[in-house]
Homo-oligomer: A and B are copies of this chain.
Amino acid sequence: MEKKKAGIIGATGYAGAELLRLLLTHPDVEVAAISSVSYEGQEMAEVYRNFLGRLNMVLTDQDDVIAKSDVIFASLPHGLCEEIGAKCVEQGKILIDLGADFRLSKAEDYEKWYGLSYRRPELHEKAAYCIPELHRRRLTSSISIIGNPGCYPTSIALGLAPAAQAGKIVGNSVIIDSKSGVTGAGRGLTLGSHYPECNEAFSAYKVAAHRHTPEIEQTLSELLGEPAAVTFVPHLLPVNRGIISTIYATLTEEISAEAMHALYTDFYQDEPFVRVLPLGVSADIKNVKYSNYCDLSIFIDPRTHRLIVVSAIDNMVKGAAGQAIQNMNIRCGFAEDAGIRFIPPAF
């Protein structure tokens, strides 16, 4: 197959830089252009010295990226991608938006949580939100825009899907306590990610108020077949990469850990990127780092009749760049695991 040309808008943010790293070794893709508002005109390998000797590419602007690429990845703050999406559709290109502009199916959710309205509703009909393990069929040839899932919602949806779809949990009982590495906060300088402020520190943030909440609820409600509201509390974890979501839900009926484990194992048996761990073992960030895996561990608390799922991903891979490539692979007809079959390092 001829290689597709891929481009990245917002290549100097953390997700953009990770995308670039992964795309550079993808067998079916050639990186055609990369852009950055802050570093336009500079060599990427000067901004990120890890690329030295591997990349001889100058950062340009978004129009250049769209013009030169078949598939455009955008990793930008919310509110900027409808316009880019329109250009891509016009030029017959595919846009994969790593931001929030094409994730929420209800415009009112976007307005409520992001404070913006959809200005081009017609675009959203050509768009699909896709966690591959749950929604890969959505990526038909009529789809021009892919709303790539958020990091937290990915870890949570994969952790809840088997139980929720099988009707084993009470929708409104779901509580999610998530912990994310600091790259999740981006490369922008803030006191909260200043080393001496977050090293040897740990706290919650945006308690029950994080913008990923409606995305989590959207997927959970679809799985349950009824609306569900969740309590979602993210925490900032002093590591570079990784998310653990510890998910609590009340069981609708008694079920043994073994039976629940079997349900999860069956659900994900053909999935290359979800690993249901043996009973009794907890998922750990360290075992998924630098990989596209989601590790799930399943516990039942028989004393309180709750399911507890511990879900681990690399926020920058399965939670962002890796999943975006997985979505590209599906949409473009590449092997679903092309370019993202990394074995996580042991340390």
A306 within 8 A of B: yes
Of A1-9, A17-25, A71-79, the one with at least 4 CB within 8 A of chain B: A17-25
A197 within 8 A of B: yes
A175-B344 Cα distance, complex, nearest whole Å: 32
Give the contacting residue for A21; candidates B24, B202, B207, B346; CB below 8 A: B346
A88 within 8 A of B: no
Q: Are the C-beta atoms of B196 and A14 separated by less than 8 Å? A: yes
What's the least CB distance linking A23 to chain B, in Å?
10
Give the contacting residue for A14; candidates B21, B231, B299, B347; CB below 8 A: B347
A54-B344 Cα distance, complex, nearest whole Å: 10
Q: Are the C-beta atoms of B204 and A282 separated by less than 8 Å? A: yes
Q: Are the C-beta atoms of B197 and A286 separated by less than 8 Å? A: yes
> What's the tally of chain A residues with a CB closer than 8 Å to chain B?
85
Q: Are the C-beta atoms of B284 and A241 separated by less than 8 Å? A: no
A286-B202 Cα distance, complex, nearest whole Å: 7
What's the least CB distance linking A14 to chain B, in Å?
7
Q: Which A residues between 243 and 290 are near B, CB-CB below 8 angstroms?
A: 244, 246, 248, 275, 277, 281-290
**Chain B hits for A347, CB < 8 A:** 14, 183, 196-197, 200, 240-241, 316
Q: Are the C-beta atoms of A21 and B345 separated by less than 8 Å? A: yes
A246-B295 Cα distance, complex, nearest whole Å: 23
A177 within 8 A of B: yes
Assuming the A-B contacts A233-B246, A303-B229, are A346 and B18 also in contact, with contact meaning beta carbons closer than 8 angstroms in the complex?
A: yes
Q: Are the C-beta atoms of B196 and A240 separated by less than 8 Å? A: yes
